[in-house]
Amino acid sequence: MSAYLPGTLTDLWDLLEEADTAVMAGGTDLLVRRRAGKCAGRICCLERIPELRGVQEEEGVLEIGATTTLTDLLESATVAARLPMLHQAVRQLGSPLVRNQATLGGNMCTASPAGDTLPALYALGAQAVLLSRRTERVLDVAEFIAGPGRTALEPGEILARVRIPLPEPNAVQHFEKVGRRRALAISVASLAAVLRLDGDVVRDIRLAFGSVAPTVLRCAEAEAWLTDRTLTADNLRHAAGLVRSAVLPIDDVRATADYRRQVAGNLLLRLETYRP
């Protein structure tokens, strides 16, 4: 087994020509899988390619390099001010030690149903910028993530950047995660929500649930029902029922499907705290 640390994209494309080459960002998922005997072969680290790292704002869109670490995101003033839901989600992911090396792109490419940055990215309408030697394509995050542990990446292609349209400053951004403990807990259920209020009337709402379906679930039924209704406990309770019908959770070591279904609905009730 060999490990490579190319310093340029040109060198990277050459390395990716060879079969059995795994791409590594922070290594916090990949090296655990490797230790378990999965994904043998060569490793190509992205950490030394400057174009793939950093946070930049341009015309209302935040572009985040795929190998930007989660600690970098927490320390970004723009992320804290304009994307508080992503900031909150990242604060609850892993531990400081994990966040010092884990990356946003890595969390997306792992494509876990419980990936903690994903609900926020779905709710924010993020896009993935994919590069290969000859192509560049842009996919919505929901298209990029093809299933549990699967992405739309083709051989020789990498996730280079994430584009996040910044919500208007007065939009409500909410994230809540339920886990067995605070640090290093894999989510049992989570909710990321972006909403625009007109007084206490919901004008626009996006709801993305984590860990309750094979991929992050946008709940269109609850979104449609809440639109143009007031943000009252009664209305939220009704929408929570729609959420419980829409989710497709599983039983696993962390929680039962019934518990996840119940909690997914309950997470919605918290939005009442944003009622003016």
Partner 1 sequence: MIIRFCINGRDTELDVRGDERAVDILRERLGLTGTKEGCGTGECGACAILVDGRARLSCLTLAAQLDGRDLTTIEGLGSPEAPHPLQQSFAERGAVQCGFCTPGMVVAAADLLARDPHPGREAIREALSGNLCRCTGYSRILDAVHKVDER
Q: Would you tell me which residues interact with partner 1 (CB under 8 A)?
A: 1-5, 27-28, 31-32, 35, 42-43, 45, 47, 71, 94-98, 100-101, 182-184
Phi-psi domain of 155 (left: phi exceeds 0; alpha: psi -120 through 50; beta: other)? beta
Using the minimum distance from each CB to partner 1, give the nearer residue, 94 or 113: 94
Using the minimum distance from each CB to partner 1, give the nearer residue, 11 or 47: 47
Using the minimum distance from each CB to partner 1, give the nearer residue, 98 or 146: 98
Residue 44 CB, nearest distance to partner 1 (Å)? Answer: 11
Residue 43 CB, nearest distance to partner 1 (Å)? Answer: 7
Q: Which residues contact 188 (CB under 8 A, 6 or more apart)?
A: 178, 179, 180, 211, 254, 255, 259, 260, 263
Residue 65 CB, nearest distance to partner 1 (Å)? Answer: 18
Residue 189 CB, nearest distance to partner 1 (Å)? Answer: 21
Tokens, residue 84: 């508080």
Using the minimum distance from each CB to partner 1, give the nearer residue, 71 or 227: 71
**Beta bridge partner(s), residue 137:** 130
Residue 102 CB, nearest distance to partner 1 (Å)? Answer: 9
Question: Could you tell me how many residues make up the chain?
Answer: 276
Query: Which ranges in 95-140 belong to alpha helices (H)?
Result: 96-99, 104-110, 118-124
Using the minimum distance from each CB to partner 1, give the nearer residue, 110 or 132: 110
The SS3 assignment for 194 reads strand
Residue 244 host element (H or E): helix 233-246
DSSP 181: S
